A and B are shown apart, each in its own frame.
Chain A
């Protein structure tokens, strides 16, 4: 990591602790059932594909979504058409399987990646079939719950920061080269 220029020594202690926990203390899955976990792993792998990384090197996504649901940490608002978050997730995952079965006669995890994408696009457009979607509007679930949860978790990881060209927080020293094409010495 430090070869790439992020040197945690430059971070203040509270920030270092938050990132350390993210890297070293991935929580166990306690909210999702094993089937739901397997399925959300498959969904997350289509929303933020990490096929270029070895299995042990991938950014963990599902444990962090599970952790939020296990502790039921809310977001401060919920769109009226959606049920509370735990229910929304359970129903949404069930609905994705219902849609997969309706279209391909198989459950989501058994589908090829391309077919999985077809199912997810159906969710995104709100055209997916399945009774679960009567209580959870599919397009809203996709755009307000499913995708942001996965994307936010992915881009909270230092490996994702590196990929985006972001060298991580700089606190307390801040930034000196702030203008266009400005590159601080540790960002080279």
Chain B
């Protein structure tokens, strides 16, 4: 096998680093997507000695040149291809939750690194069945994932409090907690008044120097890309590891079809490179899809063939089904003091007090209360949307922008079959492929949870001394559409993220979540990916991969 030329990839300090060119050979693994799932699994497999190519639809960012401290100037970081959002409660996509480029959404995530609760893995056993919902246990236990939570917390140098009041007893976070921002102090003040436990949030931005990366300067543009490299995104952590270990991270490479034979064994990925209209093929002995909850099922459905007319890995009919989000409702209030919501990372404090099924509350599942701190344009848009304000009324309120503080939930949403990602019947993208259509509507349980959460948040903000308290309907992360489970008839992958139907196809991203949890999902996605890499390594060593 001939080795290609050497490529040059952007480093994280403005330099370039040499990278292998694996385009013309059959590699062990082709990973699709360079975000939380693909970045971790790709890096770990490369370090285990496998030949790995990671295809990424967007650019390979250079943090010193490509990120700007400006809201509108950052639109390139988001997935802006058309998607059709329908159903009773259509969701906001794009900048709300969908990344593009190496690092994926971790480039602009809020860095809150919560573990799922132990109970989250056994929701069906603990909460029973709920009409209209596909409540399921995970095929994984908390205990199986715990060492991987620790592995990721170490790799990303998560900063958190010495004592974290919820969940199982845990070891110390690798870095100490960050000094609270004003907006975090507001949440702490309100919760403390009401005797609601509250704590500094575990976040993946450095509070002390680590390697060649400096600590956070509290610049506050975390949701628009970190220019200082304090933020532990996948772009500045696992991607350099992957390249160093010999993987090729190929940007501007949009995967459109997974090639397979009639027996259902995959052998490569067809993709488009940049503006070039000619399709290319990356040959691979196994494929790992990590495109998140919309692009992953879209790719599997677009890979349909005569042998698999309903899409690849879809004998269960569950590819695209049980699409979930987190409800992300927010409450804002005006304070006498200047809060300056644009300073510091968005979520430096949180309360998991309501993150549990609360007897008598009228719903199952729970929510985490976190801090939000929108920049000025985002805040203005939110006020306009939530309160229907415009004209002089809006301009007047906005003069007090620096005095407004916000909190919001990560609320559990139940999995429902009727919420799904499918291929649009008529609309096509630039490659001529069907665009995704997303249908979403809340379950009654979700609505009761949201009502409870908004009422509690209003109490918290009032207790903190807030005036002019108002709420905004929001949604956060995407989850589900290729759920993991033990039963091949009702799930798409097993606990190892391996397709029930296709033995050399894996799915390794947020789409494998069978239930949503009420935790920011990145840490769990990364932990699943880290475990998936170990499982693949073990399977390969035993000759069980093919």
Contact = CB atoms under 8 A, between A and B. Distances in A.
Interface of A: 11-12, 14-15, 17-19, 22, 46-49, 73-81, 84, 117, 120, 124, 143, 147-148, 151-156, 160-161, 163-166, 169-176, 178-183
A155 B182 contact: no
Contacts of A155: 376-377, 380-381, 398
Given A48-B395, A76-B79, A79-B90, A182 B85 contact: no
A60 to B, nearest CB: 13
A160 B185 CA distance: 27
6 contacts: A76-B82, A78-B83, A78-B84, A165-B402, A172-B228, A182-B340
A46 B395 CA distance: 11
B378 to A, nearest CB: 8
B95 interface: yes
B227 interface: yes
B347 to A, nearest CB: 14
Interface in B65-85: 65-73, 75, 78-85
A125 to B, nearest CB: 9
Contacts of A46: 390-391
A151 B228 contact: no
A159 B341 CA distance: 19
B342 interface: yes
Given A77-B92, A178-B179, A171 B219 contact: yes
B185 A179 contact: yes
Q: Is the interface of A mostly helix, strand, loop or mixed?
A: loop
Nearest to B230: A174
Given A79-B86, A174-B218, A182 B93 contact: no
B70 A18 contact: yes
B338 interface: yes
Given A161-B376, A174-B218, A77 B83 contact: yes
A11 B517 CA distance: 39
B263 interface: no
Given A14-B66, A178-B218, A76 B78 contact: yes
A160 B384 contact: no
B402 A164 contact: yes
A76 B339 contact: no
Contacts of B66: 14
B538 interface: no
Nearest to A18: B73
A76 B219 contact: no
Given A154-B380, A156-B377, A160-B376, A77 B84 contact: yes
Closest 5 CB pairs between A and B?
A: A76-B94, A174-B217, A169-B69, A80-B86, A77-B93
Of A22, A84, A160, A180, most B-chain CB atoms within 10 Å: A180
A73 B80 contact: yes
A117 B343 CA distance: 36
Contacts of B168: none
Contacts of A77: 82-85, 91-94, 438
Of A75, A80, A84, A148, most B-chain CB atoms within 10 Å: A75
Given A152-B380, A163-B398, A175-B220, A79 B69 contact: no
Interface size class of B (residues with CB under 8 A): 35 or more
A13 to B, nearest CB: 8
Q: Is the interface of B mostly helix, strand, loop or mixed?
A: loop
B98 interface: yes
A81 B438 CA distance: 13
B206 to A, nearest CB: 13
A164 B395 CA distance: 9
A46 B394 CA distance: 11
A81 B89 CA distance: 12
A22 B71 CA distance: 12
A166 B376 contact: yes
A175 B390 contact: no
A147 B382 CA distance: 11
A178 B343 contact: yes
Given A166-B342, A179-B180, A180-B339, A47 B65 contact: no
A154 B383 CA distance: 14
B219 A170 contact: yes
B337 interface: yes
Contacts of B504: none
A17 B68 CA distance: 9
B181 A179 contact: yes
Nearest to B400: A165
Contacts of A161: 376
A169 B220 CA distance: 9
A138 B213 CA distance: 50
Of A78, A143, A161, most B-chain CB atoms within 10 Å: A78
Nearest to B219: A174
B200 to A, nearest CB: 13
A181 B182 CA distance: 8
A91 to B, nearest CB: 17
A178 B90 contact: no
B69 A171 contact: yes
B399 interface: yes
B425 to A, nearest CB: 12
B381 A151 contact: yes
A12 B401 contact: no
Contacts of B79: 76
Contact of A170 (B69, B90, B384): B69
A151 to B, nearest CB: 5
Nearest to A147: B384
Nearest to B401: A164
Nearest to B427: A84
Contacts of B391: 46-49, 117
Contacts of B381: 147-148, 151-152, 155
B384 A148 contact: yes
Nearest to A113: B391
Given A163-B398, A174-B217, A49 B392 contact: yes
A172 B219 contact: yes
Given A164-B399, A175-B220, A179-B180, A84 B82 contact: yes
A175 B373 CA distance: 15
